[in-house]
Chain A
Amino acid sequence: MSFSILLYISLSIFVLGLIYKISTWFSQKIGISAKDITTSQRVFASVKGILGVVLSRRIMVLIRVFAVDVLFQYRILKEDFLRWLAHMLIYGGFMLLLLMHALEKIITVNLFSDYYSTINPFFFLRDLFGLMVIGGICIALYRRFILKVPRLRTNRMDIYAIIILGVIMLSGIFLEGAKIISYSEYQNMVEDYSDSSDEKDLKALESLWVKEFGVVSPRVKGPFDEEIIERGRELHEMSCAACHSSPKWAFTGYAAGKLLKPGAYMLDNAGGVNFLWYLHILACFVGLAYLPFSKMFHIIASPISLLANSVMDSKSASANVATRQVMELDACTHCGTCSLYCSAMMAYEALGNEFILPSEKMNALKKMVRGKALNKKELKAVEDGVFLCTNCDRCTVVCPSGINLRELWIGVREDLVQKGVPEPLMLSPFSFVRGLNRIKLTETDYLKPLEEARRSVAGAFDALINPANPISFNGGGKEKAVAGDTTFSYCFGCQNCTSVCPVVRAYENPQEALGLLPHQIMCCLGMGLSEMASGSGMIWNCLTCYQCQEHCPQNVAVTELLYQLKNSAFRASGN
């Protein structure tokens, strides 16, 4: 009774959770792609899109991707055999256990008329499948904690998933072990199924079960007389053999039974079998109810991501892109493959901002899409992380769930610079791809964040904002000399750098547009006015083409010095 109640409770939480999660795919918004699209438009577009694919020849693509990437998981195999093995063992073993063991009354019984969980091959297979899952979990733990795959980070969701799976598997095995050795279980079976009530006969049968089936009996103990065992075997053949293979076939449960043997009576008297049964089904039901909200939801979302991305392209309806991008957050398994190959990985190693790593950005996005407000520091870190991306697309190429991370980053980056804090990194070549895509934005949306970024780094020096203010030459005060290159001290003011600069040449009135020009910046540095130099707009408009440096008669490393000024301005903006 309590089994059905628990089952129905967890099943309804699972179903409601599933409905809720799928509804969020259509209602939540991430990035700019979803900005002006309503939920109903998204639902309608997705139905249209799905029908359009299913009723066309593109269904062949779906079938192929389902076989190759969803079932066989070729995308994981391609990247890492060990990980593929771990995942195949867990997913294969668990699916088979689910079908054969958990759903035995619905599936197995109907397929095999002679099915009993305690006879072979089912008896053996159940343990084999269980061992597969445990083997997979062990490999997963080994990769995470001993092999230490670079930048593979473990978060709460990963731990929960491993714990739930581990408790289900271990409680199952120990339940089996406890049942094998349990005397009360044995007695119940004898009462129900024995054809003989003769005390001698029952003792003979019990002797056989103690000797060969692992039961721990308070009544009989070995060594046994060969005759008694033979009599026991006759009775066994008559009453038990039809439903019981040797427990040694259930090798994991049998081994667990051996472990429990010393405490067998205590365990049996304390209702150990019952306790383990509850633990086992509770773990299963918690896993089921929690599934839509856990990492395990990828069982549903990852295949959908793989299938959707195989038939979607740059021409797909933006309503469907909006839906897909929210769904993709659920499809992410936090496996870290993206971060293993991320081109910007060394920026993470040097700067320590975890949001540079794609797999960690996904976690932040999951929070943001649920409407959880990040504090200002987190938001800045996420924004920096999203911007410190070289747009090499490697994450998208390697993602085992087929997530189109490339488009996700572009959308999220735009959303953050429109709404977030000013982002000085916009004034570096990290903006190149945004520039290439500028026609997708209105002019105001495109220029406004750039202006804000410029203002955020230009405000450092009053005299530059208002040229009417006099410049004070108290170089020894709060001004700090630029660390590193000091070749500016060789500058004799010939202005070669400024006259060969293509940016200076591009303006009719360069000083108005750029602030201090290259030779003036060198001069500033010479006078110890590094803060003033780093406030100049010129440094953010430097092409780094090295014309100035190449043509300096005094070997002043002009371009390198501009790099240094930018570096210190970035550092200052981070504080």
Chain B
Amino acid sequence: MEYGLFLGCQIPARVNQYELSARAVLSRLGVKLVDIRQFNCCGYPMRNSDQKAYLLSAVRNLALAEKEDLDLLVLCKCCYGSLKAAQHLMKEEGETQREVKEMLDDMGLRYEGKKNIRHILSVLYHEIGADALKSQISRKYKDLKIATHYGCHALRPSKVTEFDDPVSPSLFDELVNLTGAKSVDWSSKLECCGAPLMGINDKVSMDLTRMKIEAGKKAEADFFATACPYCQLQFDTVQETMVTDRQIDDCLASILYPQLLGICMGIEEEALGIKMNQIDISDIKSFLSKE
């Protein structure tokens, strides 16, 4: 199994542990990741301001992957949503689409929409599958409760993203349950983490996060589990500043899914970047069962 790894902008700069742990876990599972240095921004932040800049950014990445004849494996859900939406838009014929194709042509690239865009959770669930994952898990968790956080841009708009059922998704919960942890039922697992408004309307952004922390705690979760750098930054870095600002008394730490999976696959903590999270998650190991 071989994929072009699409890291996006946030992960290399701020959520390095996501890249580390994803690489560690995927390499153990026999997935080969190819790095394409020419990749640029997925277009997500440009979508607000200019459609052409957005589409050109997104589609250039897709064309680069096509040139290497690779499907894309995306870690960030905002990148995922943005690339999927671009793929969808390119099926239509329009002025912007034509311009984008022409500009790619000038760069010696061609987009035909031949390759797939996959999020890491989909690859784990659909391509690798539960059996292969189970066979790699050496020690399961016991009495660990996890609040899974799906992330908007993977779930919706479901017709475009094709990730899971938008109303009652189960993919992430099943992946969490595989590790022996229990995915709790909690009220706002499908809601936005608040990150898209961070820096624009911090109050609403943090209100949403606070609501999630409260809901997660109410469901007695020990950790949030995320698979997106924006959600993770919101639940980790931003939550930490909220504690410092005394906006909340007690935090609910967030773990990235490859970190959660890696630990019970027996991968070293360092290779999973466990210490790189802002809010300490090192007690995750105490949940491993004794056998």
Interfacial residues, chain A to chain B (CB-CB below 8 A):
150, 341-347, 349-351, 388, 390-394, 397, 406, 424-436, 438-439, 450, 484, 502-503, 506-507, 540-547, 549-550, 557, 559, 563-564, 566-567, 570-571
Contact among A349, A430, A506 with B208 in the assembled complex (CB-CB below 8 Å):
A506
Closest to B244 in A: A439
Instruction: Let me know if A390 and B41 touch, CB within 8 A.
Output: yes
Within the complex, what minimum Cβ distance (angstroms) separates A355 from chain B?
14
Contact among B43, B60, B152 with A544 in the assembled complex (CB-CB below 8 Å):
B152
Interface of B is mostly: helix
List B residues 210-268 near A (Cβ within 8 Å).
Answer: 230, 233, 237-238, 241, 244-245
Contacts of A564 on B, CB cut-off 8 Å? 51
Instruction: Let me know if A392 and B9 touch, CB within 8 A.
Output: yes
B57 at the A/B interface (Cβ < 8 Å)?
yes
Interface of A is mostly: helix
Instruction: Let me know if A543 and B197 touch, CB within 8 A.
Output: yes
Q: Which of B9, B12, B46, B48 has the most CB of A within 10 A?
A: B48
Contacts of B238 on A, CB cut-off 8 Å? 435-436
Encoded as 1 (CB less than 8 Å from any A CB) or 0, chain B from 40 to 54 comes to: 110111111111110
Within the complex, what minimum Cβ distance (angstroms) separates B146 from chain A?
22
Instruction: Let me know if B200 and A435 touch, CB within 8 A.
Output: yes
Instruction: Let me know if A428 and B200 touch, CB within 8 A.
Output: yes
Within the complex, what minimum Cβ distance (angstroms) separates B105 from chain A?
12
Instruction: Let me know if A545 and B191 touch, CB within 8 A.
Output: yes
Contacts of B47 on A, CB cut-off 8 Å? 544, 563
Contacts of A430 on B, CB cut-off 8 Å? 45
Contact among A393, A450, A503 with B13 in the assembled complex (CB-CB below 8 Å):
A393
Instruction: Let me know if B200 and A439 touch, CB within 8 A.
Output: no
Instruction: Let me know if A439 and B13 touch, CB within 8 A.
Output: no
Contacts of B51 on A, CB cut-off 8 Å? 484, 563-564, 567
With contacts A344-B40, A351-B50, A390-B9 known, what are 11 further pairs, Cβ within 8 A?
A: A347-B41, A349-B103, A350-B52, A425-B49, A426-B199, A438-B199, A484-B94, A542-B196, A547-B156, A557-B157, A563-B51
Instruction: Let me know if B103 and A541 touch, CB within 8 A.
Output: no
Instruction: Let me know if B103 and A388 touch, CB within 8 A.
Output: no
Contacts of B60 on A, CB cut-off 8 Å? 346
Contacts of A347 on B, CB cut-off 8 Å? 41, 46, 50, 53, 57
B280 at the A/B interface (Cβ < 8 Å)?
no
Contact among B50, B156, B202 with A350 in the assembled complex (CB-CB below 8 Å):
B50
Contacts of B94 on A, CB cut-off 8 Å? 484
Instruction: Let me know if B41 and A435 touch, CB within 8 A.
Output: no
Instruction: Let me know if B152 and A543 touch, CB within 8 A.
Output: yes
A432 to B234, CA, bound (A): 10
Interfacial residues, chain B to chain A (CB-CB below 8 A):
8-10, 12-14, 37, 40-41, 43-53, 56-57, 60, 94, 103, 107, 152-153, 155-158, 166, 191-192, 194-202, 204-205, 207-208, 230, 233, 237-238, 241, 244-245
Contact A346:B158 (CB < 8 A) given known A432-B199, A436-B198? no
Instruction: Let me know if B200 and A541 touch, CB within 8 A.
Output: yes
Contacts of B153 on A, CB cut-off 8 Å? 544, 546
Q: List 18 A-B pairs, Cβ < 8 Å.
A: A347-B46, A390-B41, A427-B200, A429-B199, A429-B200, A431-B200, A435-B198, A435-B202, A435-B205, A436-B14, A438-B199, A438-B202, A507-B204, A541-B200, A541-B201, A543-B208, A546-B152, A557-B157
Closest to B230 in A: A432
Closest to A557 in B: B157
Within the complex, what minimum Cβ distance (angstroms) separates A242 from chain B?
57
Instruction: Let me know if B41 and A346 touch, CB within 8 A.
Output: yes
Closest to A539 in B: B48
Instruction: Let me know if A436 and B237 touch, CB within 8 A.
Output: yes
Within the complex, what minimum Cβ distance (angstroms) separates B145 from chain A?
24
Contact A502:B191 (CB < 8 A) given known A428-B200, A436-B238, A545-B156? yes
Instruction: Let me know if A436 and B196 touch, CB within 8 A.
Output: no
Contacts of A388 on B, CB cut-off 8 Å? 46, 49
A542 to B201, CA, bound (A): 10
Instruction: Let me know if B195 and A350 touch, CB within 8 A.
Output: no
Contact A391:B49 (CB < 8 A) given known A427-B200, A543-B196? no
Contact A544:B199 (CB < 8 A) given known A347-B50, A349-B56, A393-B12? no
Contacts of A392 on B, CB cut-off 8 Å? 8-10, 12-13, 41
Contacts of B201 on A, CB cut-off 8 Å? 540-541
Contacts of A570 on B, CB cut-off 8 Å? 48-50
Instruction: Let me know if A545 and B57 touch, CB within 8 A.
Output: no
Instruction: Let me know if A567 and B49 touch, CB within 8 A.
Output: yes
Contacts of A350 on B, CB cut-off 8 Å? 50, 52-53, 56-57, 103
Contacts of A394 on B, CB cut-off 8 Å? 12
A429 to B42, CA, bound (A): 13
A351 to B37, CA, bound (A): 23
